[in-house]
Structure 1
């Protein structure tokens, strides 16, 4: 325990702790909407499309996350537009943007002079290298998401579970969808540094799967997801630090382990309940 306390004296570990917290808040909230709306593969398409923005960022000398954010938002809006307006099948639209982003990323990274030194941290995550500026951006995003979901909770609930009913109530469904897909895109980009492009979908779904073992209420599921995401992220951070293994993979492994433990707990509780009932 003393060793863990001592770690907080180091700025890089303190940044990693805050990154774990804000990743839990953002992915817990957005991931619950993604799972409820059953658009996990849309988030996967946006995630991989963001690689195009990283490649463009490297080529132009920008911060790669800025390029990824712009490209991800455009990809998310593009998927929505192709699906709803151009009447293209959703899986086809996702595949187009997914492939386009990956192809553009590879091309521009190849064309960039020199070597892209931090590329692996974007693919597989490196929470220990998250900067103070990125922490402040993640904090701002957390505040935006909490405020937006609090103010628009009922409208988001209608859109997530019954879009047709939401339209009959006069809600601007298309506008809400475009705002939400943009927030999803930005959330994905800001958490790439935590677990990487390859594993970000897990951070958006595993805490929700664990929360779903205990509740089916949308509001409670968001709160539980944030809690489980933080436990898994921080425990995975400690595990990666002491075992000297990649942080992104360690966090996801810990989240899977947490799901397995909670699943076992719920099964034991159900069996005990049946015995008492019998």
Structure 2
């Protein structure tokens, strides 16, 4: 079997990117699991979805809305999780439910087809 494909520059870049991504994700993953916040990625992504929908609904850049809502979710999760009254994943679950509910609300308020929000 020949390894001719490894002589292409794009394959070398792809392998390098996979190696660097694997090292970065595994390093961060250890801290995420150790801190008990394994649900954080889902929560922040749904916050971004709600922010993007608000941006579409109000007519401004959805990327700005996604960024602001992601930061807002992180800013609320931090103090909630630090209070120590419950598990950090519980605080994340509360914000996740709120953001998902807002996303459905914003999508329901949109007039016409929803393909712009989903595409």
* TM interval, short-chain normalised: 0.5 to 0.7
Shift of 1:113: 2.5
Q: How far, CA to CA, are the matches of 1:86 and 1:74 in structure 2?
A: 20
Q: Does 1:103 align with 2:97?
A: no
Q: How far, CA to CA, are the matches of 2:28 and 2:99 in structure 1?
A: 21
Q: How far, CA to CA, are the matches of 2:70 and 2:103 in structure 1?
A: 12
Q: Does 1:90 align with 2:84?
A: no
Unaligned runs of 5+ in 2: 1-9
Deviating 4+ runs (over 6 angstroms): none
- What SS does the aligned partner of 2:115 have? coil
Pair 1:63–1:97, CA change in 2 (3 A) = same
Q: TM-score, normalised by structure 2?
A: 0.67
Q: What are the Cα deviations for residues 110-165 of structure 1, in whole angstroms up to 9, with x where unaligned?
A: 112333333333xxxxxxxxxxxxxxxxxxxxxxxxxxxxxxxxxxxxxxxxxxxx
Q: TM-score, normalised by structure 1?
A: 0.31
Structure 2 residue aligned with 1:249: none
Is the 8 Å Cα contact of residues 83 and 93 (structure 1) preserved in structure 2?
Answer: yes
Q: Does 1:72 align with 2:76?
A: no
Q: How far, CA to CA, are the matches of 1:30 and 1:52 in structure 2?
A: 27
Unaligned runs of 5+ in 1: 1-16, 122-278
Is the 8 Å Cα contact of residues 107 and 114 (structure 2) preserved in structure 1?
Answer: yes
CA RMSD of aligned residues (A): 2.7
Is the 8 Å Cα contact of residues 73 and 95 (structure 2) preserved in structure 1?
Answer: yes
- Number of paired residues? 99
Give the 5 Å matches for 1:117-132. Answer: 117-121=115-119
Q: Does 1:57 align with 2:20?
A: no
Is the 8 Å Cα contact of residues 58 and 109 (structure 1) preserved in structure 2?
Answer: no
